Amino acid sequence: MGLLDKMKAGAANAGNYTSQKADEATINSKISDQRNTKKKLIAESGEKMFALYLEGKTELSDEIKDMYAKCVECDKEIEKLEAEKAEMIAKYEGERQARRDAVKEQEEKEKAEREAKKAAEAEKSE
């Protein structure tokens, strides 16, 4: 395996890593958006609950229950995005490892061929 082949594999892995980080940033942004939405919903529902409490109402209104349901949906979406991110990272890492393994396998094959050739030459000279 020549230096050029190793460089090609390295460049492909670098490109793969860059793509992974770009995809991770996209997913992280979506996760951050969901977390921010949830924080806003919690703050808004808290203010509404406090206003209702000041009016002497202690029951949760339908509006507050809807906000709670939206918070639960945010949590579910965050879990889904986290799982998607982990799967994506594993895929990219697997691709890079496969390239490294192919380079190593080719090097070992060429090394075995060189050793066999040396052994054959040594046998001829004896």
CB-facing half-sphere around the CA of 88: CA atoms within 13 A: 19
Q: Which domain holds residue 101?
A: 3-125
Overall domain count for the chain: 1
- Encode pLDDT of 3-57 as tens digits: 888 888 889 999 999 999 999 999 999 999 999 999 999 999 999 999 888 888 8
- Encode pLDDT of 49-103 as tens digits: 998 888 888 888 899 999 999 999 999 999 999 999 999 999 999 999 999 999 9
Among 36, 41, 40, 50, smallest CA distance to 70 is for 41
- In order of 62, 82, 105, the CA distances from 111 in angstroms are 73, 43, 10
